[in-house]
Structures are given as structure tokens and as C-alpha cells.
Chain A
């Protein structure tokens, strides 16, 4: 059973999965990561380890993943196409697998303009679609991206990808999701959902085409701490849709943090009950990891299933 991801086993057995996110630090101590991992351990099935998110230099996702794994929680290693060419990607993936990591999430990555090294060169040697396709070939056909045979111990990752129902062109987002599934994506985590109506329209198209039968879709949610944070996302983060009502609700709240958590819990319950084709939830509590256990518990998703 050593080769199977726990997340895969939960999803494949038809249970509603819960994943969260741990952002590695901008320094070289793993203390904070371990703290967050221990806190989340019993409440989530796996945690994403972000890869220099928003192009800000942080501890490597694979190194941070090793610390998380040491705390008994399964990491989902994020790998962006921004910083590595195909040689470095494969090398890092072999290393990650050797350390016991079984889940990879393939993404393009935010442009370096948004980070703390805007003068950096970007790589994008291969894109997220090609990364998915080649990871699948590594596992199923036992070949490197070049086609050369991997003679032994090929990495057998559970392959994840992302989808953003809030980016344009809206209809093509469903095509692109299908393309990722055709390439080999086995689970999908969506961008943070704030516009539930649009997400439901997206899922309707997904179900019409039977894509939800071929891949595990995890709905992305993010608790917000304040109306300012919501307003910032509304105006400054491209590919996000934050309805005004949500900003207003936070603005009028006596305890905005409480309100932010309640909204998130309501969303999870709503999605689980009403949006068919969603197989789990991905909680992105950005720089607010400590609220994850409460969100999971109050959403009725605790205790988590035991596997293996």
C-alpha cells in the first residue's frame, strides 16, 4: 500500500475529501510548518504545500513537504512551471517521490511580476497541461518527458490540477478542465469560490459532459478575515470574482473574523449538499491556518475517515 496516496484512496472510495493548504515560510526554520501540520493532522486528508506562491521566495515545497510528512500528514506537493525547466522538474519530482510524497498538483504559477523578484526570468519551458500529461506518462508508460525509459522505480504520483471557473472565457474553462482530465489529471482543486452562482453554472456544464465521473473535483474555499481583504481580492486579484454582498456582509459584521468563518462554513455545507459532482473541499486559509480544524468540524466533516 506504500505506493498509494491516502487522498486517492479516500476519493476513489467515494468519500467526501478535505484538503487544506500550508504555505512554507520566508525563512529556513520548519517550526511553523510543523505546528500547522500537527494542528491540522486529524482534520484534513492531505495538505497542499504551495510552491513559492505569488512568486515570493519561500522554503521549497518539497522540503516543506518532508517536514509535513514527518508530522504524519500527507502532503500535496505543488509544482509550478514558472521556476523550473523540464530537467529540474523531473529531478525534483523523483526526489519528492523518494521522500514519500505521493500527490502532485500541477500549476502554471503566478507571474513573477507579483512577487518579490519581479526582475526574474520566467521559465515556462513546459506548461501545466504538458506537466500533467508527462507525469502520467512517467507513471503509466515509465518514461521521462523526453521519452527515454525509466528503468526502475518510476514515480507513481496521484496527479492533481487546478481549474478556475471565475476566469475567462467562461465556457472554455470547462473545455480546458476536460483537456486536463484527458491529459491525466485525477483530482482538481478549484480557485476560491465566492460567486456560488457562477460555480454552480460551471458544475452544471461539467456534469452535462460527464467530467465529474472522470475526475475528483474539490471545491476551493477561503475564509476571509475582513471586508478589506475581500475588497482587495475583488479589485486586485485577476481571475477572482467576489460579489459585493459578501464584502458588505463582512463590513456590517460585528465580528468580521467570526463572520468570515461562518460564511466559509455555510459555503462548504451548501456545496456538499447542493452541488452535485463535487467530491471534496479544499480549504485555503491563507495565513490563517489555525482556523482549519474549526471549519472542518463545524462543516460536519469531522472525524476524517481512516485509511490503510
Chain B
């Protein structure tokens, strides 16, 4: 899933400090699962803003709504009636949701309440870790199911580098060395010989380096 975290309250407040009425929009997708922008977080943020503005003698009318998903035109269409008289929309979705709202509501000031961090999952309750680098051409079958693109600080394809010690990365002792993990797993699986193949330079044109990407499935497209 996409993992996001809420921006500091003062930063969000700053973006809307000249607005009288604001719609706070949550998302029931990834950001609900990572406890950053679901229905509950949306209600809490709206309350916090109301209180802050009362204390500042500048009251704010804050209304809330949580979409099934903000990354889908059909689910944000239900906001059409609610945005009419608001001065701004605060999105508690990932960066995709913010952009979908901005595109649909062309005359509205749309701002993000979250920082979209990465694609990952939770390890224990309250901790999420980055797992996928979105490189566009998966190599996990060559690296024992552990992604060096995003989990190695240098994205090295023929690691580990000389900075790996005691299973940790030179960047930070809290980071496991991805290549230590890959080595351990390949060894356990009896596949160390696979790591002796020189992995060639990656085709980054399939990643963001090739420009913004599009996935097209003609078989599921509906003719208008």
C-alpha cells in the first residue's frame, strides 16, 4: 500500500489560514490502513483546526467527507455538492488523491494534509517500512524476494557494497543491509550461484526516468 503521514498541524493551518470554510476529505483506501487519512483522522484533523482557529479568534467552518477512494473519478464525484461554497479543500489522501481533487474542482484551492512517503507495509502495529521502488520491471526473482532497488541505500544490483557490516547498512544502523538479507536467503535456498551472475545496468526508462508512466489494458477498456 501507499504509506503516508500527516503533515505538522501548523503547516496545514498555514495553507488555509485565509479561508473561512474548508472541506476536509479523507480516503478509505491505503491511507486509512496506515492510519493517516481515514474517516477518523479526517474528523480529528478538522476538529483540531476548528479549535486552533477559535483560539486565534478566526473561526473556521470545517466540514468533512471520506471517499471510498480519492484516486477514482467516480468516487470523488460525490463531492460535487459539498465543495460549492468552500474556500479550500484539504485532502487527506496520498498525492494521487490531491491531484484528482484539484483536477475535478478547477476553481478550488486544493491542498495536501499528508506527506506521501512510500510503497510498503507494516511490520508491527504502528511501524511501516518501504518495500518497493516502483522501478517498473521487477527483479525479485533474482534477489530472493528482497528488493535491492529500494531497500539498498545505493540501489546496488550486485551487492553488498563495502559498507555492509554486522548485517547493517552504512547509512544507519537501524537499516538492515538488503544484500545481507539477500545473501542469507539465497544461501538458505541453495541458490548462491545465482548471485554470481553479473546483473547488467538496469533499464531505468521503465522507471520514472523514462517520464511519467501509463498502464493501458485495452481488454478492459469500455468503448464510449
Q: Check if A112 is an interface residue, CB within 8 A of chain B.
A: yes
Q: Give the chain B neighbours of A120 by CB distance below 8 A.
A: 204, 209
Any A CB within 8 A of the CB of B8:
no
Within 8 Å CB of B203, what residues of A? 119
Distance in angstroms between the alpha carbons of A162 and B64 in the assembled complex: 47
A113 at interface, CB cutoff 8 A: yes
The answer, yes or no, to whether A243 is at the interface (CB within 8 Å) is: no
Instruction: Mark interface residues in B194-218 (1 if CB within 8 Å of A CB, else 0).
Output: 0000000111110101110000000
Q: Are A121 and B204 touching (Cβ within 8 A)? A: yes
Give the shortest distance, in Å, between B47 (CB) and chain A (any CB).
Answer: 39
* CA gap between A112 and B211 in the complex, in Å: 10
Interface readout for B167-203 with A: 1 if CB under 8 Å, 0 if not? 0000000000000000000000000000000000111
Residues on A with C-beta less than 8 A from B209 are 112, 120-122
**Which residues from A are CB-within-8-Å of B204?**
119-122
List of A residues within 8 angstroms of B210 by Cβ: 113, 118
Interface size counted on chain A using CB atoms at 8 A: 8
Chain B CB within 8 A of A111 CB: yes
For the complex, give the distance between the alpha carbons of A118 and B207 in Å: 12
Within 8 Å by CB of A113, from B201, B202, B207, B211, lies B211
Provide the bound-state CA to CA distance between A166 and B203, in Å. Answer: 32
Residues of B within 8 A of A113 (CB): 205, 210-211
Q: Enumerate chain A residues within 8 angstroms of B202, measured Cβ to Cβ.
A: 119, 121
Residues of A within 8 A of B207 (CB): 121
User: Shortest Cβ distance from B204 into chain A, in angstroms?
Assistant: 4
CA distance A293 to B209 in the complex (A): 40
Interface string of A99-129 (1 = CB under 8 A from B): 0000000000001110000111110000000
Q: Which residue of chain A has the shortest Cβ distance to B210 in the bound complex?
A: A113
Give every chain B residue within 8 A of A122 (Cβ-Cβ). Answer: 204, 209
Chain B residues with CB below 8 A from A111, complex form: 211
A300 and B210 CA atoms in complex are apart in Å by 45
Question: Chain B 58-93 against A: per-residue CB contact (8 Å), 1 yes, 0 no?
Answer: 000000000000000000000000000000000000
Chain A residues whose CB sits within 8 angstroms of the CB of B211 once the complex forms: 111, 113
Of A112, A113, A118, A121, the most chain B CB neighbours within 10 A belong to A121
**How far, in Å, is A273 (CB) from chain B's closest CB?**
42
Q: With a CB–CB cut-off of 8 A, which chain B residues contact A118?
A: 205, 210
Q: How distant is B209 from chain A, measured CB to nearest CB, in Å? A: 5
In the bound complex, residues from chain A placing their C-beta under 8 Å from that of B205 are 112-113, 118-119
A111 to B201, CA, bound (A): 18
CA distance A121 to B211 in the complex (A): 11
Cα separation A120 to B203 with both chains bound (whole Å): 7
Q: How far is the CB of A19 from chain B (nearest CB, A)?
A: 32
The docked-state distance in angstroms from the alpha carbon of A122 to that of B205 is 9
A122 to B209, CA, bound (A): 6
Smallest CB–CB gap between A115 and chain B, Å? 11
Cβ distance B203 to chain A, nearest Cβ, rounded Å: 4
In the bound complex, CA of A111 to CA of B207 (Å) = 14
Q: How far is the CA of A122 from the CA of B207 in the complex (A)?
A: 10
The CA-CA distance from A121 to B205 in the complex, in Å, is 7
A211–B208 Cα gap in the complex (Å)?
36
Chain B nearest Cβ from A105, distance in angstroms:
24
- State in angstroms the CA–CA spacing of A112 and B201 once bound together: 15
In the bound complex, what is the Cα–Cα distance between A122 and B211 (angstroms)?
10
- Smallest CB separation, B165 vs chain A (Å): 24
**A271 nearest CB across to chain B (Å):** 35
Per the bound structure, the CA–CA distance linking A120 and B205 in Å amounts to: 7
List of B residues within 8 angstroms of A121 by Cβ: 202, 204, 207, 209
- Bound-state Cα–Cα, A113 to B205, Å: 8
Cβ of A119: which chain B residues have Cβ within 8 Å of it? 201-205
Chain A min CB distance to B82 (Å): 32
User: Which B residue sits closest to A122, measured CB to CB?
Assistant: B209
A121 to B207, CA, bound (A): 9
Most chain A CB inside 10 Å of its own CB: which residue of B204, B207, B209:
B209
User: Chain B's nearest CB lies how many Å from the CB of A42?
Assistant: 43
A114 to chain B, nearest CB (A): 12
Question: Which residues of chain B have C-beta atoms less than 8 A from A112's C-beta?
Answer: 205, 209
A113 vs B209: C-alpha distance when bound (angstroms): 9
Cα distance A206–B145 in the bound complex, in angstroms:
57
Chain A: minimal CB distance from B205 (Å): 5
Interface of B toward A, CB cutoff 8 Å: 201-205, 207, 209-211
Residues of A within 8 A of B (CB): 111-113, 118-122
Enumerate 6 A-B pairs (CB-CB under 8 Å) in ascending A order: A113-B210, A118-B210, A119-B201, A119-B203, A121-B204, A122-B209
Add 9 more A-B contacts to A113-B211, A121-B209, A122-B209 (CB < 8 A).
Answer: A112-B205, A112-B209, A118-B205, A118-B210, A119-B201, A119-B202, A119-B203, A120-B204, A121-B207
9 closest Cβ contacts across the A-B interface? A119-B203, A121-B204, A121-B209, A122-B209, A119-B205, A118-B205, A119-B204, A120-B204, A113-B210
